[in-house]
Structures are given as C-alpha cells and as structure tokens.
C-alpha cells in the first residue's frame, strides 16, 4: 500500500515534490507509522523500482516460457520487455527523476536485474543449442551480447518513440542477431 501510494505520487507530482507526510496521508496513516516501515522516501522509491523491475522480468520470462521454439522465446522475451517498459514510461510522466535516483545511487538494484535478464536469455539460448535450433556456442557469452545489443529497448530514456516503430526496430535487430545463432 505504501509503495503504491508513493508510486502514484511520484508519477503525478515527481519524486522531488513528494513528501513522506503526503505518502502517509494517502495511506491514511501517521508519518510516524510510515517511518516504522521505511526510513525515508528514497527507500520507498527503491522498493518501488525493485517491484517494477521484478514485474517486467516476470512478464518477459512468462512470455518466453510459452513459446514453441528458442527463437520464438527470445523474440517474445525482448518484445515483452520493450512493451512493459514503454507502458511504464508512457504512464509515468516524472519517471526520469526515479531513473536518475536509482541509476546514480542504487546500481546494485540495476545490476541484480541485469544479471537476472542475462541468465534468462542464457537459459533460452542453451535450450536452442540443446535442441539443435542454434549453433554450438557459449550460451553465457551470447546471452550477454544479446542483452547489450538490445539494451536500447530496455532503457527508459530510449523508448519515447511510438511503440510500433520501436517494435519494428527491435524485430529488425533481432532478425539480424538471430541469423548469427542459426547452425
């Protein structure tokens, strides 16, 4: 409840203009009670960022899990990540303040989710290698390369273009990258 109230405030008014007293009021609790759960608004923002990144990771992993081939799983994984992020950016006008906070002071959170993404991609690549769909290669190295090559579609500042054009760009890039994976 606290994280959701803060998310709405941060989105509507911005991180800098939101106070602990306003978040507490939105939760119908005293500021003192709010401090029992979080020591400051930055901790609430970090918890919200973790939850958002976990939701995006779970959505992408779920999309990949239903695919019939490793290639389709990778495509679904990257497209859902883009769609999730685009929706977040579109629905959070003051999101850039939060991105700046997390990227400047909480790189450990970003690193955790980068590692999770690379591991998910590695698992898909390995299944493609095992099935003969992909050439024999170092799945971990390919996963990191795929992650970094598609990072434009996972960075909030880069997804302000219309979703359709970003999806078309991503599809073209994935087609090029996937050609290199084929036996």
Annotation: CATH topology of 42-179: Tetracycline Repressor; domain 2 (1.10.357)
Q: The tokens of 170 are what?
A: 């991503």
Q: Is the pLDDT of residue 95 over 90?
A: no
Distance CA(154)–CA(124), nearest Å, equals 18
- Around Cβ 26, how many Cβ atoms within 10 Å? 17
pLDDT > 70 in the chain, percent: 100
- What's the average model confidence in pLDDT over 94-120? 94
Residue 165: the pLDDT is 95
Q: Is the pLDDT of residue 168 over 90?
A: yes
3-state secondary structure (DSSP) of residue 154 = helix
Residues 20-72 have pLDDT tens digits of 999 999 999 999 999 999 999 999 999 999 999 999 999 999 999 999 999 99
Residue 158: the pLDDT is 83
Residues 129-152 have pLDDT tens digits of 999 999 999 999 999 999 999 999
Q: Is the pLDDT of residue 10 over 90?
A: yes
- pTM score: 0.92
Residue 43: the pLDDT is 97
- What's the average model confidence in pLDDT over 125-130? 98
Q: How confident is the model at residue 96 (pLDDT cuts 50, 70, 90)?
A: confident
User: Residues, the chain, total?
Assistant: 183
């Amino acid at each position: 409840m606290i994280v959701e109230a803060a998310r709405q405030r941060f989105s509507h008014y911005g991180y800098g203009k939101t106070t602990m007293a306003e978040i507490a009021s939105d939760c119908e609790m005293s500021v003192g009670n709010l401090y029992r759960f979080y020591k400051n608004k930055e901790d609430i923002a970090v918890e919200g960022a973790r939850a958002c990144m976990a939701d995006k990771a779970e959505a992408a992993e779920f999309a990949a899990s239903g695919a019939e081939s490793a290639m389709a799983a990778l495509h679904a994984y990257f497209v859902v990540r883009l769609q999730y992020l685009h929706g977040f950016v579109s629905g959070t006008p003051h999101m850039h303040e939060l991105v700046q906070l997390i990227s400047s002071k909480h790189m450990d959170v970003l690193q955790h989710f980068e590692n999770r993404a690379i591991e998910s991609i590695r698992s898909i690549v390995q299944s493609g290698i095992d099935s003969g769909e992909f050439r024999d290669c170092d799945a971990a190295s390919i996963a990191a390369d795929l992650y970094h090559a598609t990072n434009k579609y996972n960075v909030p500042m880069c997804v302000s273009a219309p979703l359709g054009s970003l999806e078309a760009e991503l599809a073209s890039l994935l087609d090029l990258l996937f050609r290199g994976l084929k036996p």
